[in-house]
Chains A and B, each alone.
Chain A
Amino acid sequence: MKYLKNVVTLQFDQDKCTGCTLCTRVCPHGVFVMQEAKAALTDRDRCMECGACAKNCAFEAISVNAGVGCAGAIVKGWLTGEEPSCDCGGSC
């Protein structure tokens, strides 16, 4: 299933990539693939902003505004002005 187009905050700087392949392993949606000894961002709209790739990139080539995608948490975030978190007792 595909979600909205062109909304995710995922950014990739291929110049900093050393080709360690870790991002291709941790991504649950196969957003990165290896091309000629470097990672390439091939399916950006499938990104769900979980942050696994950025967190595991030791070379700071990837950035993403990772967060909670639960509607209840986002509403709470709007009301309290805080970052959305799972602590609303929601399913996630």
Chain B
Amino acid sequence: MRWGIGRDRYKVTPGLYAVGQPDEHSPVLVSANYKLSFDALRRELQKIDAWILVIDTKGINVWCAAGKGTFGTEEIIRRVKSSRLNEIVSHRQLILPQLGAPGVAAHEVTKQTGYRVIYGPVRASDLPAFLHSGLQATPEMRRVTFNTKERLILTPVELVMMNKVSGWTLLALFLLGGIGPSILSLSDMWQRGLAASAVYLAGLVVGAVLTPILLPWIPGAVLAWKGFLTGTAAALLICILVAGHLSLANTVALLLALPAVSSYCAMNFTGSTTFTSPSGVEKEMRRAIPLQALAVLGAGIAWFWGNFSAGL
């Protein structure tokens, strides 16, 4: 599931659900119909009697759905009415996950339904404490974190997302690897294609897995820069490990290509982070992409040059 396999089928039917033995005084918690969110919510509420109003977010989690507006004012108003919540509970309070707030105008929901919107904690695991303290959230409950474990579980999906691009890149590298003094050589293709692919894959792993994990400890604020640093470190390490076996041209190609790929992959991680702003990401991309492209071009030239000069 975390790998992105079958994630499109992970939906819960929208509507009103009961956990425990809720009555007319029990709290109503609003949730997205993404199965991972819904299951997490039910798990945390094991010893609590509550209603869960699942709204239709097309199987997308609260945060992303709120960003799109599918976890939004209109859908909540519609579900409150269609589930006949008025006949089931006597109070007029909805508890929303705080991360749904970008999509919901609380005052609009109140105006249209008569229900007061209370934003609960960011994490479902804080819900029992929140409910027991009379719906008071501590500042910690209101903060989004991004610790090592949270970053780690996001990395597989980053790799899978790159699958299609990676497939074509590897194919291209093998084909280009074959171009040399003997026009098209199969053994060259195999050897050089393999070496180039290894460099590409190393860049991918360093940029999309290692960089996210090491994120807070890598200097700088820009993700593309962080990816470049780890990529450069990895390239230098490879240079040391294979010292003497690498031609000058290939060393140059390695030192340019690996950091560029790593930098690009790390930049893509901005979509998963919890602290980057779209304005900032756009700014960093405008600066980084031309440099990354230039580095890849330089690496390509060095690589080709190496292929031809080696055959002379």
Contact = CB atoms under 8 A, between A and B. Distances in A.
B143 interface: yes
Report whether over half of chain A's contact residues are helix, strand or loop; otherwise say mixed: loop
A1 interface: yes
B60, B64, B143, B275 pick with most chain A CB within 10 angstroms: B275
A7 B271 CA distance: 17
Contacts of B105: 55-56, 58
A46 B143 CA distance: 12
Interface residues of A, number: 43
A70 B223 CA distance: 12
Interface residues of B, number: 50
B99 A92 contact: no
B3 to A, nearest CB: 11
A61 interface: no
Contact of A73 (B139, B143, B271, B279): B271
B107, B139, B281 pick with most chain A CB within 10 angstroms: B281
Contacts of A35: none
B272 interface: yes
B157 interface: yes
Contact of A91 (B158, B276, B278, B284): B158
B98 interface: yes
A2 B122 CA distance: 20
A25 B119 contact: yes
17 contacts: A3-B277, A22-B106, A22-B119, A25-B137, A30-B142, A48-B274, A51-B102, A52-B102, A65-B279, A66-B102, A69-B270, A72-B271, A74-B281, A74-B285, A86-B64, A91-B272, A92-B67
